[in-house]
Amino acid sequence: MRRRPARWPAAVTVLALAAAPALVATASPAAAAQVCDSAPPASAVIQDVPWPQVRYDPPAQIWPFGTGAGVTVAVLDTGVSAAHPQLAGAVLPGADLVRSGPADVDCTTHGTALASLVAARQQSGIGLRGLAPDSTVLPVQVTDQPATDPDADPVDPARLAAGIDAAVASGAQVVLVGAVVYGDAPALAAAVSNALAAGAVVVAPVGDGHDEETGNVPDPASLTPYPAAYDGVVGVGAVDRDGMRTRGSQIGGYVDLVAPGGDVVAAGSTAQAVYSGTAFAAAFVAATAAVLLSAPDVALPPGADRSAAVGAQLAGTATPAAGVLGYGAGELSP
């Protein structure tokens, strides 16, 4: 029996205690209890529409053009709970590269939260919906804990590279990397290069290690986040509801654009919770890429040119933040 340690992300606020595989995963809460050392943290129902959805108005401004239908988004993180009510039928078995087996159980809720920002289905009385609500999630577990902060246990770059390879081999058109490696690694660079050559859009967070005491200056080279820093990868920073960069969102040339990443409502263990961090911002960008790929009126070239075209569209349509370090081309505007 596989046992996973219960490691909770510091960025999550638990509200009140209360070819790609063809088969859809059917993991249950009982299965999670068998896999995890402890039950994931309790979550509570949040009925309000989250602030990013209010800002983007998907029913009027996005979904008439594309909903992510037919697009598979790989989520490389802590696994994704296929038992979450808003992800039922949306999650493929995937692969757990930490201990082997499927990746459709999540002991931390972090990967599940990322997946919900992409593909959460409508649920009565719940405001949260994914930005690409008809997309499919392919979970690839590469870590036991969230890993965008330099103080977190390091992610094995070889495992992360293998996760990217597995995602592309399984047919993922969008690869959302929820983890960060603070150092270049040849195997990871090669995996990213191969993914881009295959036409996959690779989206990654820029990390949450910025030191506020240094002010708005570039972070040192020791905090360079990979794969976000590789050419062709869409590196994403985080902003709050006021459009201000979140405290930890890193500053450097690897920031291509920013997206909502402060006090974001996403899936918890069974209901919803509130999270912050650049990984959640990256999820919004990955979802937007899925929408672009599913939009019938958007003509995209094949192969690597398709990856570049999606990246250019994301940056070119961002709301500009001219001259402000850490914002890249500006804020995502789906």
DSSP helix/strand/coil, 182? coil
> What DSSP state is assigned to residue 304?
H
**pLDDT score at 32:** 58
The residues that bridge with 41 in the sheet, in sequence order, are none
The confidence score (pLDDT) of residue 323 equals 72
| Antiparallel, parallel or unpaired: β 234-239 and 136-141 | unpaired
Q: How many CB atoms lie within 10 A of CB 54?
A: 12
**CA pair distance 130, 63, nearest whole angstrom:** 11
Q: Strand, helix or coil at 83? A: coil
CA gap 276, 246 in Å, rounded: 8
Quick check: 104 and 91 in contact, CB under 8 A?
A: yes
pLDDT at 88: 94
- 12-316 CATH: 3.40.50.200
The predicted structure's pLDDT at residue 99: 85
Q: What is the dihedral of CA 172, 21, 23, 293, to 10 degrees?
A: 20
Q: What is the pLDDT of residue 59?
A: 97
pLDDT by residue, tens only, the chain of 334 residues: 233 333 333 344 333 222 333 323 344 555 555 678 777 777 889 999 999 999 999 999 999 999 999 999 999 999 999 999 999 999 999 999 998 889 999 999 999 999 999 999 999 999 999 999 999 999 999 998 887 777 778 899 999 999 999 999 999 999 999 999 999 999 999 999 999 999 999 999 999 999 988 888 999 999 999 999 999 999 999 999 999 999 999 999 999 999 999 999 999 999 999 999 999 999 999 999 999 999 988 888 888 899 999 999 999 999 998 778 999 999 999 9
